[in-house]
C-alpha cells in the first residue's frame, strides 16, 4: 500500500484516523501499532514475521544493554544486535550482489538465492540500530514497553521510505504528544503538498524519462531533457514522500524532523548534503563518521573516514555498482571541497557556485539511475554530443515542447521562491486572502491528484527499493 493510492487515501487513512481519534488516549498507541502492522502486511504479508522478529530482538537487546553491569558486557550485546540487524539486511538486500561478484571475480558458479527485498528494511534497520546505540550511549532511556517500541519501529507514516526517525526525536512523544486542530490541519496541508509533488510533478517527469529510455533516436537535446528530468523526478518523488510522512505524523500528533531543505539552491556539494536526505546524512555522521574519529584525526585518516561514509552511503541505496560509484563520486568532491575548493566557492558569485552544484548533482543522478557503466557513460557523453549525435531531432523537439511547462514548474517549485512570496504577502493585508484561498487550493490539488491516480498516471516511489 502506498500513500498515493486510492486504497490508502480513501479507505485506510480515514478509517485509521477515525478510530484513532475516537478511542481514549491510553489506546491510541495500540491503534497506531495495529494500523502500522496492517499497513506493512498489506504490501509484504510474508515479511511481517521478519519485522516482528526484528522488533522483539531490538527490545530484548535494549533491555540487556541497559541492565548490563559492565561497559564490556553492554558493548558485547550492542555488537551482537548490530551483527544480527546488519546480517539480515545483507542477506535480504545484498546476498545476490555478493554472489554475482564472487562468481565474476573468482570464476565460481554459485547459484543465486531467490529472496525478495522486504520493503523499507534499510530504513527500519537503521532506526533500530540508532535506538540501541543511543541506549548504549545513555542518550536515550531503554523502552520497557514492547508495544511502544514496536510502534516506533513500525510506525507507518515513515516506515517504507523514511525519513529515518531517531528514537530520541519522538521518545517523549511516544508517552505524551499533543493533538490540536492546528497541528492536524498543518499535517493535512503538508500531506497534500507532498502528494502533489509525487503525482503532479514526479510522475509526469517519470513519463518523460520512460519516453527517453524507449526512444528510437537520440540527440543532445534529448539527453539534457532526460538528465534534468531524472534530477527533478528523484527530488520530487522522495521529498514528496517525506512531506507526506511528516504530514501524517502531525495528524497523529508526532513532530518528525525535516528531511529536505531546498537542496538545489545549495552553493557547494557540502551544502547540498546538509539539505538532501538530512536524516540519512546525519545518521552516517553520528553513527559512523564521528565514531571513526571524524576530522579529529590525521589528515589521511580523516579522508579515509569521509570515503568510508560515502562508500556506505552509496551501498545503502542499492545492491549495484552504480550506487557505489555514486557514493564514491560524492565522497571525492566533498574531499576536494574540504581540502581547497570550498574556500573559492565562497568567494565567487553565487550564480556560478549554484551552477557548479547543479551540474555535478545532475551527473550524479545519471550515475545513480544508470543501468551499467556503459549506459552511464553514454548518458553523460550524450550531454556533449559524443557519438556524433545531432543537437536535436523532431522527436526531442516534440518532447521539449510537451514537457517544458512541467519542467519550469518543477524548477520553480524546487526553490523557496513561492514559499517566500506567500510568507511576505501573508504578513501584509493579502494574508487574509491567502488564508481563504489556501484550503480551496489544497482541495483542488487533492481532486486533481485523485484524478491522475484513477487515470493510472502512477509510478511506485523510487525509494521503496532502498
CA 60 – CA 63 distance, rounded (Å): 5
Kindly name the residue from 179, 277, 317, 354 that is annotated as catalytic.
317
> Which residues contact residue 57 at a Cβ distance below 8 angstroms, ignoring those fewer than 6 apart?
81, 84, 85
Helix (H, G, I), strand (E, B) or coil at 118: coil
Helix (H, G, I), strand (E, B) or coil at 292: coil
Displacement of CA 315 from its chain's centroid (Å):
14
Q: Are 54 and 86 in contact (CB under 8 A)?
A: no
Report the interhelical angle of 220-251 vs 373-382 (nearest 10°): 110
Q: Are 226 and 379 in contact (CB under 8 A)?
A: yes
CA 234 – CA 142 distance, rounded (Å): 37
Q: What is the DSSP string of 190-246?
A: HHHHHHHIIIIIIHHHHHHHHHHHT-S---HHHHHHHHHHHHHHHHHHHHHHHHHHH
For the chain, state the CA radius of gyration. Answer: 23
HEC string of 308-363? HHHHHHHHHHCCCHHHHHHHHHHHHHHHHHHHHHHHHHHHCCHHHHHHHHHHHHHH
* Longest CA span, the chain: 74
Work out the angle at residue 105's Cα, subtended by the Cα atoms of residues 99 and 109, and round it to the nearest 5 degrees.
50
Main-chain phi, psi angles of 344, to 5 degrees: -75, -35
Half-sphere exposure of 199 (CA within 13 A, CB side): 25
CA 79 – CA 12 distance, rounded (Å): 38
CA 34 – CA 19 distance, rounded (Å): 11
* The three three-digit cell numbers of residue 210, written as one number: 520512460
CA 302 – CA 139 distance, rounded (Å): 25
CA 63 – CA 307 distance, rounded (Å): 34
Q: Catalytic: 354?
A: no
CA 382 – CA 360 distance, rounded (Å): 15
Q: Which residues are catalytic?
A: 317
Amino acid at each position: 500500500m502506498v500513500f498515493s493510492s486510492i486504497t490508502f487515501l480513501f479507505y485506510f487513512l480515514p478509517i485509521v484516523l477515525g478510530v484513532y481519534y475516537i478511542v481514549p488516549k491510553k489506546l491510541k498507541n495500540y491503534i497506531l501499532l495495529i494500523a502500522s502492522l496492517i499497513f506493512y502486511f498489506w504490501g509484504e504479508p510474508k515479511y511481517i514475521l521478519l519485522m516482528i522478529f526484528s522488533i522483539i530482538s531490538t527490545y530484548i537487546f535494549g533491555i540487556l544493554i541497559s541492565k548490563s553491569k559492565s561497559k564490556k558486557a553492554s558493548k558485547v550485546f550492542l555488537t551482537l544486535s548490530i551483527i544480527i540487524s546488519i546480517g539480515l539486511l545483507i542477506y535480504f538486500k545484498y546476498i545476490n550482489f555478493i554472489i554475482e561478484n564472487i562468481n565474476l571475480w573468482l570464476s565460481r558458479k554459485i547459484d543465486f538465492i531467490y529472496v525478495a527485498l522486504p520493503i523499507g528494511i534499510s530504513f527500519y534497520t537503521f532506526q533500530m540500530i540508532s535506538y540501541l546505540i543511543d541506549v548504549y550511549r545513555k542518550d536515550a532511556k531503554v523502552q520497557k514497553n514492547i508495544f511502544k517500541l514496536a510502534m516506533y519501529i513500525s510506525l507507518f507514516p515513515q516506515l517504507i521510505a523514511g525519513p529515518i526517525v531517531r528514537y530520541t526525536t519522538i521518545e517523549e512523544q511516544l508517552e505524551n504528544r499533543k493533538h490540536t486542530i492546528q497541528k492536524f490541519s498543518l499535517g493535512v496541508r503538508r500531506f497534500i503538498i507532498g502528494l502533489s509533488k509525487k503525482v503532479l510533478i514526479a510522475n509526469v517527469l517519470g513519463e518523460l524519462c520512460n519516453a527517453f529510455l524507449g526512444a528510437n533516436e537520440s540527440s543532445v537535446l534529448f539527453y539534457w531533457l532526460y538528465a534534468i528530468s531524472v534530477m527533478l523526478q528523484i527530488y520530487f518523488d522522495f521529498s514528496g514522500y517525506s512531506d507526506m510522512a511528516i504530514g501524517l505524523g502531525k495528524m497523529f500528533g508526532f513532530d518528525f524532523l525535516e528531511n529536505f531543505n531546498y537542496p538545489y539552491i545549495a552553493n557547494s556539494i557540502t551544502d547540498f548534503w546538509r539539505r538532501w536526505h538530512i536524516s540519512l546524512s546525519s545518521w552516517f555522521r553520528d553513527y559512523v563518521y564521528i565514531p571513526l574519529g571524524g576530522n579529529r584525526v590525521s589528515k589521511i585518516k580523516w579522508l579515509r573516514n569521509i570515503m568510508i561514509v560515502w562508500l556506505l552511503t552509496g551501498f545503502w541505496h542499492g545492491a549495484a555498482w552504480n550506487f557505489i560509484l555514486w557514493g564514491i563520486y560524492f565522497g571525492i568532491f566533498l574531499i576536494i571541497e574540504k581540502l581547497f575548493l570550498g574556500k573559492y566557492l565562497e568567494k565567487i558569485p553565487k550564480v556560478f557556485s549554484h551552477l557548479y552544484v547543479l551540474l555535478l548533482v545532475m551527473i550524479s543522478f545519471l550515475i545513480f539511475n544508470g543501468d551499467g557503466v556503459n549506459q552511464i557513460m553514454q548518458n553523460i557523453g550524450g550531454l556533449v554530443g559524443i557519438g556524433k549525435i545531432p543537437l536535436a531531432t523532431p522527436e526531442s523537439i516534440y518532447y521539449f515542447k510537451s514537457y517544458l511547462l512541467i519542467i519550469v514548474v518543477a524548477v520553480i517549485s524546487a526553490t523557496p521562491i513561492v514559499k517566500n512570496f506567500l510568507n511576505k504577502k501573508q504578513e501584509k493585508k493579502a494574508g487574509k486572502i491567502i488564508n481563504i484561498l489556501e484550503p480551496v487550493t489544497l482541495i483542488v490539488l487533492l481532486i486533481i491528484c485523485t484524478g491522475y491516480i484513477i487515470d493510472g498516471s502512477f509510478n511506485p516511489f523510487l525509494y521503496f527499493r532502498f
